Structure 1
């Protein structure tokens, strides 16, 4: 199936019985969460990419919120990034990602809730045109990264939040960590660098994450992310950017 996006007016690509489908968007960090889990657990699937500024009518019928990711298999539909990942881990239990220890599972939920404090200033920094506000948002991001640094350090069984193997939360956090190095490029301001030396435990975590086949299969470099967000800020992003002609 083509990686190119389906837009308003596109015909619905017929589903196949028993074939798992992910509705996604190649540059979306939330959709990347589901893609990471699918790749890590080697779950057979197909991907349909959606133009999020010109959504097909049939996609809105599947998910009226118009957001990705959405999973579909036969008559079952699961939207939302954390729900899709948890569902995949439950339905495909091999290589389990969710912690079996109730205390750690509870704290992974705490970390997930806290990650919203990171996501808010991340998008705020991207959208702002005021240099001082961007730097303020960057400082917020660095403060929240220190929280994750201390939480991971306290677990003492790394390199992952899941210990010797990644957990669901590792894949929840990664898409946003992956994109942080693009901020200095996007805003042409070296002061926005995440200062890896100040978060050594997370820096070691990131190195370990980059070695995972799932991360290698779904990640883009900082320059590519910056190019995408520059286009997004102009109001006319190319959803098929970097794809070769079919």
Structure 2
């Protein structure tokens, strides 16, 4: 095996952020697009958890978490300084809030019929208060979450905000309380980097 092998699913936000970091770092890799209903045996042998992304390195190591893949890629090359754009503690706090607090609310908003304890609008309100409103406030001071340039926090979080926006595009496009967040999302998802990793394999 001469190249790292990435097991991925195009629309999975965890897999998107892994692909973003690998492409940004200019790390060549072999892509294996996974059908989630028919997971390949070789992926399951490497990572029994059965979720993407999984990166199999040429030296035999297996990275099973998207953030580990991002960190590994940026240690290979970080031309624009994503890791140094803001204090590590601030980057980690935003990513933790996204992964541990916002993502469960995003899932409930997206699949509200499975979580009838609140309406879809109720889940959306909670997610907006928990994550989107603080992001909007943060973006009043600079175009990206923690600085005037992109940090790891931006690229680790943007796939999840993108997924949130796609649940109800009409609401997202008209919500008066989130203009800076909409601009941030449009800027990042419209970039050549993001567009490149979303090309259908």
Q: TM-score, normalised by structure 1?
A: 0.71
Counterparts of 1:3-152 in structure 2 under 5 Å?
16-17=1-2, 19-74=3-58, 75-99=60-84, 104-115=87-98, 116-129=100-113, 130=116, 133-143=119-129, 144-152=131-139
Residues 203 and 214 of structure 1: CA distance in aligned 2, closer, same or farther (over 3 Å)? same
SS in 2 for 1:53: coil
Q: Distance in 2 between matches of 1:184 and 1:213?
A: 25
User: Residue by residue, what CA displacement relative to the aligned partner does 1:175-213 show, whole Å, maximum 9, x if unpaired?
Assistant: 11112232126xxxx5x5374431222222123213421
Residues 212 and 133 of structure 1: CA distance in aligned 2, closer, same or farther (over 3 Å)? same
User: Residue by residue, what CA displacement relative to the aligned partner does 1:99-145 show, whole Å, maximum 9, x if unpaired?
Assistant: 265xx210111111111322111111222225952111011122120
Q: Hey, what does 2:148 align to over in structure 1? A: 164
Q: RMSD across aligned C-alpha pairs, in angstroms?
A: 2.4
**Rg comparison, structure with higher value:** 1
Q: Are the aligned partners of 1:22 and 1:48 in contact in 2 as well (CA < 8 Å)? A: yes
User: Residue by residue, what CA displacement relative to the aligned partner does 1:39-86 show, whole Å, maximum 9, x if unpaired?
Assistant: 223322221112222222221111111111111221122111111101
Q: Distance in 1 between matches of 2:156 and 2:91?
A: 10
Q: Distance in 1 between matches of 2:135 and 2:75?
A: 26
Question: Does residue 217 in structure 1 map to residue 192 in structure 2?
Answer: no
Q: Which runs of 5+ in 1 are unaligned?
A: 1-15, 221-241
- Segments of 4+ moved more than 6 angstroms: none
Q: Are the aligned partners of 1:70 and 1:80 in contact in 2 as well (CA < 8 Å)? A: yes
Q: Which runs of 5+ in 2 are unaligned?
A: none
Counterparts of 1:173-192 in structure 2 under 5 Å?
173-184=157-168, 192=171
- Looking at both structures, which has the greater relative contact order when contacts are Cα pairs under 8 Å and sequence separation is at least 6? 2
SS in 2 for 1:48: strand
